């Protein structure tokens, strides 16, 4: 026990002389205290467009006209229900790609809530599952992320 009491102060003194991690930032140097977390800069996107709003090339007026056209146009025949996801956001316009059409054709897309817009129906080909344009999603008030069940029809 006596040996421990003699060695402990020497060990503590020696440890306090060891170099440790220095201050983490200038604030810690000035205050002599703990390092103050610094905010990280916001990530930047590369390329010409940095937001959904910048990629949406369809005006609010055009979206309103598409809504009116979908309500006024006689339905040329319901094609069926598909579950769509956001397609290529750089491909502008109001469109839906699905296997329900073999060639581009005027049509409508309707959500379960009853919101509808006029779109161009495009064949999907080998591009995965059904897709909807960014502008069409926004015109329908649907979130950009996620899967959305919609009904497609010819105009």
Q: Let me know whether 72 and 126 are in one domain.
A: yes
Count of other CB atoms within 10 angstroms of residue 126: 4
What is the per-residue pLDDT for 127? 73
Give the per-residue pLDDT at 136: 96
Q: Is residue 12 part of a domain?
A: yes
- Domain around 26: 2-31
pLDDT of residue 138: 93
The pLDDT score that the predictor gives to residue 73 is 60
Q: What is the pLDDT of residue 69?
A: 78
Residue 85 lies in a domain: yes
Average pLDDT score over residue span 99-123? 94
- Same domain for 26 and 65? no
Model confidence at 31: pLDDT above 80: no
Q: Phi and psi at residue 150, in whole multiples of 5°?
A: -140, 160
Q: Are residues 63 and 97 in the same domain?
A: yes
Taking the mean position of all CA atoms in its chain, how far away is CA 127? 20
Q: What is the dihedral of CA 45, 49, 52, 57, to 10 degrees?
A: -170
């Amino acid at each position: 026990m006596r040996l421990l009491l003699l060695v402990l102060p020497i060990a503590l003194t020696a440890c306090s002389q060891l170099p440790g991690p220095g201050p983490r930032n200038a604030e810690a140097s000035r205050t002599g205290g703990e390092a103050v977390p610094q905010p990280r800069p916001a990530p930047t996107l590369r390329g010409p467009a940095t937001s959904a709003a910048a990629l949406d090339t369809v005006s609010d007026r055009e979206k309103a006209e598409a809504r009116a056209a979908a309500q006024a146009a006689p339905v040329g025949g319901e094609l069926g229900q598909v579950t769509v996801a956001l397609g290529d956001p750089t491909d502008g316009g109001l469109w839906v790609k699905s296997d329900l059409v073999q060639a581009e054709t005027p049509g409508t897309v309707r959500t379960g809530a009853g919101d509808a817009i006029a779109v161009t129906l495009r064949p999907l080909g080998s591009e995965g599952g059904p897709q909807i344009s960014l502008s069409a999603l926004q015109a329908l008030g649907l979130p950009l992320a996620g899967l959305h069940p919609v009904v497609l029809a010819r105009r």
